[in-house]
């Protein structure tokens, strides 16, 4: 049951990030694809799958760099597959445009994830210090 909770958490976190990226792109006047029910469902599935990929980083036999590369490649394949299946417009026109958008979004997400992780660690350290002081 614990593993199922972890899977659900990762999928929901991926959906949250995907929705945030999509609405952020809309706010900045980037039209990645039209806002339709079909595209919304496709975004949820795509983002959920990418969120599920974060479980790769729990594999201890490989270095972070290797896992990062695998994550990036699998993410590209998921995005390309979704773009093909759902005719997302941001692929139309040029391959260079796709890579620019993909790298920009991927980098922003990783920077955000890193900042979130640092803030979480700092908050946990503060709680541990307070608990340790109160136990003395």
Containing domain of residue 44, as a range? Answer: 2-95
Q: Is 88 exposed, middle or buried (0-12, 13-18, 19+ CB in 10 A)?
A: buried
98-131 confidence digits (pLDDT tens) = 788 889 889 999 898 889 889 999 999 999 998 8
Q: Is residue 50 part of a domain?
A: yes
Q: Is residue 123 part of a domain?
A: no
Q: How confident is the model at residue 95 (pLDDT cuts 50, 70, 90)?
A: confident
**pLDDT value at residue 15:** 95
Q: Is residue 104 part of a domain?
A: no
Q: Is residue 35 part of a domain?
A: yes
Q: Is residue 70 part of a domain?
A: yes
Q: Is residue 86 part of a domain?
A: yes
Helix (H, G, I), strand (E, B) or coil at 88: coil
Cβ–Cβ under 8 Å, residues 56 and 70: yes
**pLDDT value at residue 100:** 85
Q: Is residue 51 part of a domain?
A: yes
% of the chain surpassing 70 pLDDT: 94
Number of domains present in the structure of the chain: 1
**pLDDT value at residue 32:** 76
19-45 confidence digits (pLDDT tens) = 998 888 889 887 778 888 998 999 999
Q: Is residue 133 part of a domain?
A: no
Nearest to residue 74, comparing CAs of 49, 99, 91, 96?
49
C-alpha 82 chain-centroid distance: 15
């Amino acid at each position: 049951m614990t593993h199922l909770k972890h899977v659900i958490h990762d999928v929901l976190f991926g959906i949250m990030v995907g929705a945030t990226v999509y609405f952020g792109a809309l706010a900045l006047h980037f039209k990645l694809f039209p806002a339709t029910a079909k595209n919304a469902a496709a975004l949820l599935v795509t983002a959920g799958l990418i969120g599920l990929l974060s479980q790769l980083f729990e594999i201890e036999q490989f270095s972070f760099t290797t896992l990062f590369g695998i994550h990036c490649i699998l993410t590209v394949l998921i995005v390309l597959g979704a773009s093909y299946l759902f005719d997302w417009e941001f692929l139309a026109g040029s391959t260079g445009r796709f890579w620019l958008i993909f790298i920009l979004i991927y980098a922003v997400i990783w920077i955000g994830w890193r900042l979130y992780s640092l803030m979480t660690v700092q908050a946990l350290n503060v709680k541990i210090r307070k608990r340790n002081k109160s136990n003395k």
